Structure 1
Amino acid sequence: MTEITTHLGAGTLLGIAACSVVLLLILIMRFKVHAFLALTLVSIVVALVTGVPFDKIVPTILGGFGSTLAGVALLVGLGAMIGRLLEISGGAKVLADTLVGKFGSHRAPLALGVASLMFGFPIFFDAGLVVMLPIIFSVAKQFGGSTLKYALPAAGAFAVMHALLPPHPGPVAASELLGANIGLLVIVGLVIAIPTWYLGAYLFGQYAGKKFHVPLPSTFLGSVEVDTNNKPPAFSTVLAILLLPLVLIFLDTGLNTATVIGWVSADNIVVQFLRMLGKTPVALLITVFFALSVFSGNRSRQHLEKVCDGALGPICGIILVTGAGGMFGGVLRASGIGNALAGVLSDTGMPVIVAAFVISTALRVAQGSATVALTTTAALISPMVAVTPGLSQFDLCFIVVAIAGGATVLSHVNDSGFWLVGRFLEMDEKTTLKTWTVMETLLGTIAFLFALVGSIIL
């Protein structure tokens, strides 16, 4: 999105950003204005106050809304279909029963978290979450209690893997900008990611599950028609459906990493075709048709069409609110608030790794997008890194992790992920702030502390 030139100072811009968040929370929590309406209204107000020209206001908000929907709508829609097919066929319950049987009923949240860590290596956060949700809900339905107890360890696993490890785009971009070795970053990121997840997502998820009772959502995977005469699919079949998008997506992320390293040519037509198959929407589309072919034996095509149609209705609100969250963040970025903040912080005299975390955190809070915060921070501090003597490859990897930690913390109302998780779990904004926002802040802070300690020791 194009940044709009403004004559306002950095302090004024930051004050506007803070006031806009407060206004949004007041509208939603105090006056009970629907989040979609409140986000749209505040986005327009921010554009006006920051001096965006009248003829640029609508294109600016539509640009933020559309770019978010482009990344979310297809994933959520296709993921909802996969989830409904797994639920109605009994496949979700088969996988849940198998996981619980291996780990034990008292370790069900741990089982979901470990599975999500493995699935989260190649798959992006939002795609992994929507595919995993039917499994989470099936386990929660079977054992009861707050859905948070099961959902946060899984969501936190996807968030950690997406933020810290290649082949996800943020770490790959940051490592390229700073000259970090991607292979070493995978090892360092994994060593930090596992304890970070356990402390910040699993343990906090168990605490949040006791403190906040969040029932199973009535939408997305609400009541489904269960055919008592239907034979549930085999565990291997369900696993194949879940692994198919992971394998396909790894074609894209893995080959992207290989081209950055120089192992394969980006101009190779076979590489380009395989990467196209691995794009998340294409991978999920292929998976939907694969699931339809698997489950068509016991059900008519007309019935399966109705199942897919029924999966889409409940998620429309989720998609619109998520898009509006992206619109709000897009307006903040276009107004120059993020860059103003970066300019204030870029020459602070702090150690490189601390400056990396602080700048990334500030950008994350100001404009919402973790990817923008990560890549912008890496670009800002790369000159500082270049002139800092004695930095080893380990140091560079720890700096990338510190940036990723800052880009993870304090997910709030200008982050589309905040609305995605909150709406999927049917939490109000106050509960989402107390659970999702706190967990994201724990994950980012713990990852940074591990990186800081590592940079001191090694």
Structure 2
Amino acid sequence: MTRLSVEMLAADAPAPITSAGHAQLGIAVLVGIAVIVLLITKFKLHAFLALTIGSLVLGAVAGAPLDKAIVSFTTGLGTTVAGVGVLIALGAILGKLLADSGGADQIVDTILAKAGGRAMPWAMVLIASVIGLPLFFEVGIVLLIPVVLMVAKRGNYSVMRIGIPALAGLSVMHGLIPPHPGPLVAIDAVKANLGVTLALGLLVAVPTVIIAGPLFSKVAARWVDVPAPDRMLPQRASDELERRPGFGATLFTMLLPVVLMLAKALVDIVIDDPANSTQRVFDVIGSPLIALLAAVLVGFFTLGRPAGFGRDRLQQTVEKGLMPIAGILLIVGAGGGFKQTLIDSGVGQMILDISKDWSIPALLLAWLIAVAIRLATGSATVATVSAAGLVAPLAADMSTTHAALLVLAIGAGSLFFSHVNDAGFWLVKEYFGLTVGQTVKTWSVMETIISVVSGGLILLLSLVI
């Protein structure tokens, strides 16, 4: 970023709520993040409360009047929830409809019926990647665990040979691909193009998931050679249904929002005329809100009806899909409040002023910041929203593609080395019957591979596009 562009950004930016110098602002950032980390890890406080308190502490240490710090936080919270809250809700509804109707089971069973032997890990990564598009990570794990255990038992596979590809597919989707909450928040923070981010995210995700999934699973299975734990397999949704939707209809519904958003991005590149009627149509149907809403409405007919769902059952599915996301929405919103407090305190401009003389690329800086926060808090979402707030000003002078790559760099860093302060670590440990050491050697290493490989691919892409 040139000195001229930094000066132009400074002229356009609103006046900060504090007159603190760079040293005080730097201390404020460190103290604010330290408070968040301490509250989450030591005192086990919910991330929403930790982010709220950390934002106010940051403002206070930076010398901002408390009333202005509160306004910054609430403004950021409201703007973030307004920007991504509806999308998260629609994604949750679609995921719940997919699970309850048996559509996800249909995808799983169809692919497994055509795979066997050495192809099984590749089938598992394909299943997890497809199912992981509309589902939150934790939901995807619960959905796929019965399949992983069943395949491992019937085929006499190591749990790691089957489980690692499934976990890799889910994790990559969670960290890099919208409409998952983390990528959506980062896109909103840096004002990136969602369609371009989605396209580049898929480009990065494919080689990443291959390396961290089927290929690494060979090594993981040698390191930790454990059979499927002897426990009762959880019941699948379709076991209670007389019928379920077909493979083609389910796949069409799941991929519909992705296709619409990618089509919008393609039309924007080919036509590049905001006044063109065709581009305006695609701008509407390819917007995340319309794309996800269309998928939900189509899903009522392609997933709900074949499963025998009446109006009451569909209503119950929608309600059950929305209930678990309250915590996610609050964390995402508070992360947006923290981001806005950073910006209004002048931290964003401070990073611009300092980094303009650095030789470190902005994408690598974003990745490193996300890694540090991920290691400290254990939350990929907290790492994403915090890092996005810190580096968002760097995107103001970037091209559309590089702004999208900045989002992906943040997402890649947020997945680095999951350990004992991450709920996902314990989820994997308990489901697969592993010790802490075995979980580190498999799950934690897999997450690190995803972060490093995707980060490297993002840096390579930045050199050629």
Same fold by TM-score, threshold 0.5 exceeded?
A: yes
The 3 A distance-change label for structure 1 pair 272 and 435 is: farther
Contact kept, 8 Å, 1:251 with 1:274, in 2: the verdict is yes
Do residues 284 (structure 1) and 289 (structure 2) align?
A: no
| Aligned with residue 44 of structure 1, among 37, 56, 65 | 56
The 3 A distance-change label for structure 1 pair 437 and 283 is: same
Q: Name the amino acid aligned to 2:144.
A: V
Do residues 97 (structure 1) and 106 (structure 2) align?
A: no
Deviation at 1:159, TM superposition (A): 4.3
The 3 A distance-change label for structure 1 pair 138 and 174 is: closer
2:347 aligns to what? 337
Contact kept, 8 Å, 1:87 with 1:134, in 2: the verdict is no
The 3 A distance-change label for structure 1 pair 157 and 77 is: closer
The 3 A distance-change label for structure 1 pair 196 and 2 is: farther
2:66 aligns to what? 54
Give identity over the alignment, percent.
25
Where does 1:367-406 land on structure 2 (aligned, <5 Å)?
368-369=384-385, 376-377=393-394, 379=396, 406=409
Q: Name the amino acid aligned to 2:75.
A: G
> Is the deviation greater in 440-449 or in 10-19?
440-449
Deviations 1:26-73 (A, max 9, x none): 112211222221111111111222233333222211122122222332
Contact kept, 8 Å, 1:410 with 1:438, in 2: the verdict is no
The 3 A distance-change label for structure 1 pair 39 and 208 is: farther
The 3 A distance-change label for structure 1 pair 284 and 161 is: closer
Where does 1:300-311 land on structure 2 (aligned, <5 Å)?
300-311=310-321
Distance in 1 of aligned mates of 2:173 and 2:214: 9
Do residues 323 (structure 1) and 323 (structure 2) align?
A: no
Deviation at 1:85, TM superposition (A): 1.7
Where does 1:169-180 land on structure 2 (aligned, <5 Å)?
none
2:414 aligns to what? 411
Structure 1: which 5+ runs fail to align? 121-126, 163-167, 176-181, 214-221, 383-395, 414-420
Deviation at 1:94, TM superposition (A): 0.6
Distance in 2 of aligned mates of 1:362 and 1:94: 40
Deviation at 1:380, TM superposition (A): 5.5
Distance in 1 of aligned mates of 2:62 and 2:15: 12
Q: Name the amino acid aligned to 1:93.
A: D
Q: 1:266 aligns to what SS in structure 2?
A: coil
Deviation at 1:158, TM superposition (A): 6.3
Do residues 296 (structure 1) and 305 (structure 2) align?
A: yes
The 3 A distance-change label for structure 1 pair 75 and 204 is: farther
2:273 aligns to what? 265
Do residues 355 (structure 1) and 361 (structure 2) align?
A: yes
Could you tell me the TM-score, scaled by structure 2's length? 0.67
Deviation at 1:303, TM superposition (A): 1.8
Deviation at 1:11, TM superposition (A): 2.8
Contact kept, 8 Å, 1:276 with 1:282, in 2: the verdict is yes
Do residues 142 (structure 1) and 147 (structure 2) align?
A: yes
Q: 2:135 aligns to what SS in structure 1?
A: helix
Deviations 1:295-337 (A, max 9, x none): 2362321121112112211221222122222222332232222
Number of residue pairs matched? 395
Deviation at 1:14, TM superposition (A): 2.0
> Is the deviation greater in 99-108 or in 64-73?
99-108
The 3 A distance-change label for structure 1 pair 270 and 374 is: farther
The 3 A distance-change label for structure 1 pair 199 and 67 is: farther
Contact kept, 8 Å, 1:85 with 1:308, in 2: the verdict is yes
Contact kept, 8 Å, 1:200 with 1:446, in 2: the verdict is no
Q: 1:130 aligns to what SS in structure 2?
A: coil
| Aligned with residue 98 of structure 2, among 64, 75, 86 | 86
The 3 A distance-change label for structure 1 pair 448 and 423 is: closer
Deviations 1:97-153 (A, max 9, x none): 223334447766644545677x79xxxxxx935378766643322123697752433
The 3 A distance-change label for structure 1 pair 451 and 309 is: closer
Deviations 1:345-365 (A, max 9, x none): 2113x3xxx434444446767
Distance in 2 of aligned mates of 1:65 and 1:191: 31
Distance in 1 of aligned mates of 2:428 and 2:32: 22
Where does 1:199-278 land on structure 2 (aligned, <5 Å)?
199=211, 228-258=240-270, 263-278=271-286
2:44 aligns to what? 32
CA RMSD of aligned residues (A): 4.8
Distance in 1 of aligned mates of 2:81 and 2:428: 21
The 3 A distance-change label for structure 1 pair 64 and 379 is: closer
Q: Name the amino acid aligned to 1:355.
A: P
Q: 2:133 aligns to what SS in structure 1?
A: helix
| Aligned with residue 14 of structure 1, among 12, 26, 32 | 26
